[in-house]
């Protein structure tokens, strides 16, 4: 292989890398940011629901204190029920927030993995097409698979993963 061919391959690879970075990485990053914003909104909603539940419980307690003296037993019973309900609502809100966070983290991890795999496959296909055009011949199926595997392994090494 001559220096000219090597230079063309390096330039082609650099252009390809820039194109993939521009057309694939940007939309993936935007998708992840949108998902993170949705998760933040869901967490804020759950926190507001918990605050409203706490405010309702406090309001209920204030109204019970102003009840007539002959309804002390009923007030105490209602207070206990209100506290149980508040605790259940708070616990439910905490559980919902934990579930939302866990699901969001799983979704983000899966979307990132899918995006990276897609980008790797696209780069491998484009690199193979460039290599085929540069070499001026069609590669055998085994050669194509070996070339793709080597390239993907190289991408993994460059990203710090093996």
Residue of 32, 80, 31 lying closest to 60 (CA atoms): 80
Q: How far is CA 99 from CA 41, 96, 112, in A?
A: 14, 5, 20
pLDDT (0 to 100) of residue 34: 94
Q: How far is CA 2 from the centre of its chain?
A: 45
pLDDT in tens, the chain (162 residues): 688 889 999 999 999 888 888 888 878 888 889 999 999 999 999 999 999 999 998 888 787 666 555 567 777 888 889 999 989 999 998 999 899 999 999 989 999 898 888 888 787 777 777 777 676 556 667 777 777 777 777 776 665 555
- Which token pair is 11? 């330039």
Q: Is the dihedral of CA 81, 85, 86, 91 positive or negative?
A: positive
Angle at the Cα of 84 from the Cα atoms of 79 and 88, rounded to 5 degrees? 145
pTM: 0.33
Grouping H, G, I as helix, E, B as strand and the rest as coil, residue 129 is helix
pLDDT (0 to 100) of residue 71: 65
pLDDT (0 to 100) of residue 70: 57
Residue of 108, 103, 92, 105 lying closest to 46 (CA atoms): 92
User: For 127, left (φ over 0), alpha (ψ -120 to 50), or beta?
Assistant: alpha
With both helix axes pointing from N to C terminus, report the angle between 72-135 and 141-158 in degrees, rounded to the nearest 10.
130
């Amino acid at each position: 292989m001559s220096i000219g061919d090597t230079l063309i391959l390096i330039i082609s690879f650099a252009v390809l890398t820039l194109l993939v970075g521009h057309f694939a990485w940007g939309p993936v990053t935007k998708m992840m940011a949108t998902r993170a914003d949705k998760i933040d909104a869901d967490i804020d909603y759950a926190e507001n629901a918990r605050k409203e539940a706490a405010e309702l419980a406090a309001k209920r307690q204030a109204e019970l204190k102003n009840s007539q003296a002959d309804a002390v037993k009923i007030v105490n019973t209602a207070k206990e029920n209100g506290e149980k309900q508040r605790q259940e609502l708070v616990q439910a809100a905490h559980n919902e927030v934990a579930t939302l966070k866990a699901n969001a983290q799983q979704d983000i991890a899966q979307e990132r993995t899918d995006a990276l795999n897609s980008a790797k496959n696209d780069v491998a296909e484009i690199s193979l097409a460039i290599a085929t055009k540069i070499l001026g011949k069609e590669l055998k199926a085994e050669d194509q698979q070996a070339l793709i595997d080597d390239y993907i392994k190289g991408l993994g090494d460059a990203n710090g993963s093996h």
